[in-house]
């Protein structure tokens, strides 16, 4: 069993309230869940308005497949949000 995980650090400079942030995060998570079979959640900085940290995990039988899934999710999130992707931490175990 291969587990692929990634942590995405996004920055949304136009967000001025936690309510706005929650709407953005909910949209990203819902769209990603509908398109990919991955676990996804906001995992850090829940109380900071402009900082979004999303964790993603997938299970596969092959390292290349797990890496491909993670890369497709990252590309999808980049294409479907105005937030700037600051950093990515990926681990395939």
Instruction: Give pLDDT tens digits for 13-68.
Output: 999 999 999 999 999 999 999 999 999 999 998 889 899 999 999 999 999 999 99
pLDDT score of 45: 87
Instruction: Give pLDDT tens digits for 66-79.
Output: 999 999 999 999 99
Domains annotated for the chain, with CATH where assigned, are: 2-92 (3.30.70.1120)
pLDDT score of 11: 96
Three-class DSSP labels, the chain: CEEEEEEEEEECCCCCCHHHHHHHHHHHHHHHHHHCCCEEEEEECCCCCCEEEEEEEEEECCHHHHHHHHHHHHHHHHHCCCCEEEEEEEEEC
């Amino acid at each position: 069993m291969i587990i692929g995980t990634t942590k995405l650090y996004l920055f949304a400079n136009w967000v001025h309230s936690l309510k706005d942030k929650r709407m953005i995060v909910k949209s990203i998570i819902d769209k990603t869940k509908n398109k990919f079979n991955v676990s996804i959640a906001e995992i850090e900085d829940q109380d900071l308005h402009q900082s979004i940290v999303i964790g993603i995990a997938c299970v596969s039988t092959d390292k290349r497949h797990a890496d491909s899934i993670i890369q497709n999710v990252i590309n999808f999130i980049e294409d479907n949000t105005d937030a700037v992707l600051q950093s990515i931490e990926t681990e395939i175990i």
